[in-house]
Structure 1
Amino acid sequence: MQITYNTTLLELEDMPLDIGYSSERVDLKNSVGESIRIGGQNGATQLIITVPFIDESCITQLKEMDSLLYINALGGITKTLIVATDKHTMPPLEEWLVGFDYDEAFGDYYGVRLSGGELNGEFTKALFIISKDGAIFHHEILNDLNDPFSLDKALLKIAAAQSCYTGKGCHG
């Protein structure tokens, strides 16, 4: 998959994990070196956002997502912002887990690592929604790193992910 950043064409190293597939539990590290475990089935809807860089536009979108979740009374969601390495300055975001992929497991499993250009080895701009049963319910992988996420669509998918899982299995 080709990704554009300004005038540079980048590639994803692997195919992104697709909708319906089981998510993998992976460990990240936060800015003080503590372990953060995300993915897999944990009984909560998970919103995972990866970015190649953290800028004001990124932080604004994350805060906008928080507002939309609050206004629409969509609580009980684990929200995580992930970057590839610890060279990034981690923003202080309330109610968000912020971590880096210290052992490269997340980037490899979820297929979000970029190759080529100045962003080689960084993560592409991607949004994953994992349902309570641990499956990839929705993802948005932007073709242009300067584009914003479609927060309205993500909000609808989060609401759908929360309402479709009953905890009783497919025959309940």
Structure 2
Amino acid sequence: MQTTTFNGTTVNLAGTPLNVGDAAPSVIATGTDLNDVEIGGAKDRIQLIITVPSLDTDTCAAETRRFNVDVNNLDICETTVISMDLPFAADRFCTTEGIENLTVASDYINKDVSKAFGVLMDDNKLKGLSARAVFVIDRSGIITYKEIVSEVTAEPNYEAALEAIKEAR
């Protein structure tokens, strides 16, 4: 079983653990417009999939703002940030923060993305939320990079994720 920590306490992750070299499952999240957003699988662009607990936290907001800037010049990449926030709250966040270079989606209905990617926090005070994780998926649908951030309150390794996108070309 995969784990992360929240303020130093171990949190078990539920769902299917995925690793580099595995095929990324194709699952559906809910967009800020309430339309389906397909996550994973083979696509004509490299995918950067980012899961966060809630956009309504300082770390998640900072991470989303940073990736919004970092992926602005990467036209080869489709970037999606997935949280458990309601689509209405996610839309308000995007409008307030000027998030325009990536897609923000919600996994609140059935937690399908979090389960399929093995990042659903299964215990502790954050049970039912997504762990902080980053996946890069190449055009054939294979995971080429994975980071489950070891501490939920910490930010991911941005440079490593961006390098993985460039290598997936």
Aligning the two structures, in what range does the TM-score lie when normalised by the shorter sequence? 0.7 to 0.9
Aligned residue for 1:9? Answer: 10
Structure 1 spans left out of the alignment, 5+ residues? 163-172
Q: Secondary structure of 1:81's partner?
A: strand
**TM-score between the two structures when normalised by the length of structure 1:** 0.84
Aligned partners of 2:16 and 2:115 also within 8 Å: no
**1:112 Cα deviation from its structure 2 partner:** 0.6
Aligned runs of 1:11-160 on 2, under 5 Å?
Answer: 11-54=12-55, 55-70=57-72, 73-84=73-84, 86=86, 89-90=89-90, 91-92=93-94, 93-101=99-107, 102-160=109-167
Q: 1:144 to 1:88 in 2, by over 3 A?
A: farther
Note the alpha carbon deviations across 1:3-33, whole angstroms, 9 max, x for none: 2112432111235211111111111112332
Write the distance in 2 (CA, Å) between the matches of 1:122 and 1:88: 17
Note the alpha carbon deviations across 1:104-138, whole angstroms, 9 max, x for none: 32122111101112111111000000001111010
Q: Secondary structure of 1:129's partner?
A: strand
**1:89 Cα deviation from its structure 2 partner:** 2.5
**1:103 Cα deviation from its structure 2 partner:** 2.7
**1:139 Cα deviation from its structure 2 partner:** 0.7
Query: Whose Rg is larger?
Result: 1
When the two chains are superposed, the root-mean-square deviation of aligned CA atoms in Å is 1.9
Aligned partners of 1:24 and 1:40 also within 8 Å: yes
**TM-score between the two structures when normalised by the length of structure 2:** 0.85
Write the distance in 2 (CA, Å) between the matches of 1:67 and 1:29: 23
Aligned partners of 2:87 and 2:106 also within 8 Å: no
Q: 1:75 to 1:87 in 2, by over 3 A?
A: closer
Q: 1:65 to 1:33 in 2, by over 3 A?
A: closer
Q: Which moved more, 1:61-70 or 1:91-100?
A: 61-70
Read off the aligned partner of 2:157 and give its amino acid letter.
S
Write the distance in 1 (CA, Å) between the matches of 2:51 and 2:33: 19
Aligned partners of 2:47 and 2:77 also within 8 Å: yes
Q: Secondary structure of 1:153's partner?
A: helix
Structure 2 spans left out of the alignment, 5+ residues? none
**1:43 Cα deviation from its structure 2 partner:** 1.2
Read off the aligned partner of 2:46 and give its amino acid letter.
T
**1:58 Cα deviation from its structure 2 partner:** 2.2
